[in-house]
Amino acid sequence: MDLTTSNLANVVRIPQREEQYLKATGIDQLLSNLVSQLYIHKPEDAINFMINYLQHTKLERNSVSFSGASSSSSSFSSSFSSSTSSPVGSSSTVTTLQVNGSPQSAGGEDEGNGAVEMEQDKKGNGNHLDQSGEYGREDMQVTSPDGGPVDIDPTLSGNRSLQRRRMAISSEPVDLSGFDADMPGNGVPNTPKSPETLQALEEALRTNVLFAHLEEDERRQVFDAMVEVKFNANDIIIQQGDEGDNFYVVESGECEIWIAKEGQPPQRVSVVREGGSFGELALIYGTQRAATVKAATDVTLWAIDRVTYRRILMGATIKKRKMYEGFLEKVPILAPLNHWERLTVADALEPEVYHDGEVIIRQGERGDSFFIIVDGETKVSQVNEQGEVEVARLYPSSYFGEIALLTDRPRAATVTAIGNVKVVKMDRDRFNRVMGPCEEILRRNMEIYNQYISTKI
Ligand SMILES: Nc1ncnc2c1ncn2[C@@H]1O[C@@H]2COP(=O)(O)O[C@H]2[C@H]1O
């Protein structure tokens, strides 16, 4: 669905001079995006939809000024193949829609304080990927959120690095009076869903904790904005180096993440399965896509446009990642995970606090959660012929609860809080989804337990 002027020209015979004009002004890309949006949403009131779309684009453009790059720089289509173009999302700008002090600002993190990536960078510990595919910040300079331009030079890897360019993003607040982001068609997709589709959505999002704590209203807005998209095995869903348009949640199938470093063949770094998600980094940090995402099988995804992602989902993700990132680096069992995979563990965690003497899991019961101790101490005990016997003590960074999940047997032991204990937990689906690369070690360690604890219960 890549309607660039060159193919537009073939169809409607646009004279060369006019074609140049369309290109130079970015109208070609805008039209292409607009037509894409019409194809995707098929709105009943197409004219109103287009008006809203154009108004929204105008607002976005007002908030962004590129140096050295025209606003036509964004492309719907991946450079791999036109059949694998990103199907949703239309922004002709990569950067943030900033809404100062408004509930439409990006999540809870940055209220009244400009965009989140600026806030992150001020602290010097933002997360974005460097050429090694790991997170760093060396080349991203963001100045005051309430001051002058924000200068970002996103480090790229792979072939797109040749096209690296500097973007100056104005941090001027945007006047959004009169812009109701909730209004259907306001640049944000709004696709009515059948009850069956809503059911499928609920199911797909059940294992993704990101959606679990949304207010009813936010949930509705996210559901309204979601668009189902399908790819065939080997299609490119996201191309490293491209600009970010959508965030994706996997409904079915498997996607591979590939990273190309300069002068080296691309490396497969992760696999994302049902319930997992990807494509958040470019939307959060305004950087170009840090990796290529390829359909390993036929896949069905739910796409969420950039504006909705930033407005409703981004804040919680940033908050959680910031909260647990440092801690998870030190949890030995997570060592096999790469940095991004550890962040997805952070996404999947739910905190809980137990008080002295409280039983966290009980021997013989069915187990549905895996725990990591954040703070405090627990006692592990088993009942055998001699009665209850303490078999271990666990401290921060230790984990428990995995045996029942790995073996589908009842809890092998009771774990009790000694004093106040803070834990983070994830349920069975999330455990299966994000702990895959750790499974071998978890199983090996489980065998070691056999030396002092009966796992045969
Ligand atoms: N190791 C990794 N480095 C970078 N991105 C990754 C990695 N593993 C998975 N991804 C995902 O791949 C996505 C590519 O697009 P984004 O950069 O927007 O967001 C990226 C992440 O969601």
User: Do the annotations mark residue 402 as ligand-binding?
Assistant: yes
Cβ 144 vs Cβ 71: under 8 Å: no
CA pair distance 391, 393, nearest whole angstrom: 7
User: Do the annotations mark residue 228 as ligand-binding?
Assistant: no
Nearest to 334 by CA among 399, 273, 268: 399
- Portion of the chain with pLDDT greater than 70, in percent: 64
Distance 223 CA to ligand 1 centre (A): 23
In ligand 1, which atom is closest to the CA atom of 339?
1
Distance 172 CA to ligand 1 centre (A): 28
Helices (H), 86-215: 116-122, 195-206, 209-212
Question: How many other C-beta atoms are found inside a 10 Å radius of the C-beta of residue 15?
Answer: 9
Of 36-45, 182-191, 280-289, 317-326, the least confident: 182-191
Residue 236, ligand 1, Cβ within 6 A: no
364 pLDDT above the threshold of 90: yes
Residue 291, ligand 1, Cβ within 6 A: yes
- The domains found in the chain, sorted by start residue, are 195-312 (2.60.120.10), 330-456 (2.60.120.10)
Residue 247, ligand 1, Cβ within 6 A: no
- ipTM (interface predicted TM): 0.96
Residue 278, ligand 1, Cβ within 6 A: yes
Distance 341 CA to ligand 1 centre (A): 9
3-state secondary structure of 110: coil
Distance 133 CA to ligand 1 centre (A): 9
**Most confidently modeled of 3-12, 139-148, 382-391?**
382-391
Residue type, 286: G
pLDDT digits (tens, 9 = 90+) for 427-437: 998 898 899 88
H or E segment at 384?
Answer: strand 369-384
Identify the residue with better confidence: 386 or 337. 337
Residues shown for the chain = 457
pLDDT digits (tens, 9 = 90+) for 31-51: 877 877 777 667 778 888 888
